Structure 1
Amino acid sequence: MQLKNVKRWANSGFAGYYFAILGVFLAFCIRFTLHPLLQSGLPMTFFILNTILIALFFGYKPSLLTVVISAPLALFFFVPPYYSFNMPTPGDLFIYLSYILVAIIAVVIIEWLQRERFKAILVSRVSDSRYRLLAQASYSLRIAQSNENQNNS
């Protein structure tokens, strides 16, 4: 069965974008609070967790917004040299780009899984609807046949 509306599993609207921005803010606050402890370690971990949650509940568009917002924030505040957009060391840059790649791969996988889940729900609803129509038609046919048999008797 070809279903074209499985892309619509997530509600459209501004709620997803609102929660995406709120999540980036909360992830930033948590990471900024832990910065004296973590230093340059785990610069995007909290941002990626936010991205995954947003992808899970609101779809890929708001979650990609979280990547676009959080990548420069993490680079500026949590990758040495701090508070600048100067190029970090190659090792830091590799880790930073790895985080972004992991986030994008997670978003793609979650989107694919959510679409498949929604497709299964739609197929189940269509199947249930067709079963009910078939049962109703069968019942109507039996009633018509029994009325015809009574009229012939």
Structure 2
Amino acid sequence: MKTIFSALTLALALTAVTTAHASDRKIGNVIAVERTIDDVYQSCVDQLKDVKGDGSFASCKFDAKKTNADFTQGTQRVLTLWKDGCEVEGSAMNGTVLVTFQATGAKATLDDSKACLRKAIDGNQTKDSFKFIVYTVE
């Protein structure tokens, strides 16, 4: 019964949140909050300092949760670039923002992959930051 109540509360919250923009929305004890992660490029590159191998494929992750009560619903795409020899994907899911990126081609290097990440971030609507919705329970 508790699971059904939680699912119904979440469904109601998601319905109301689809019309929400930057402000917090509250339904029952569930609050939808827009979160931002800034300085994405440098934070991601800092995570790659210990990468071994050619580094043509790399990933970095950011914690989307501030408390144990926070969660993300489904997958929220925050970054995409699939052209010009680059494949970059960034999504918020399961309380984490995961960014994967690579330069394609037989001789791709880590520097090429970083250039792809930079190109994707520069073309992103929010530039060097990610915005996504996190739900939290009071």
Structure with the largest fraction of strand: 2
TM-score, normalised via structure 2 length: 0.32
Structure with the largest fraction of helix: 1
TM-score, normalised via structure 1 length: 0.30
Who wins on radius of gyration, i.e. which is larger?
1
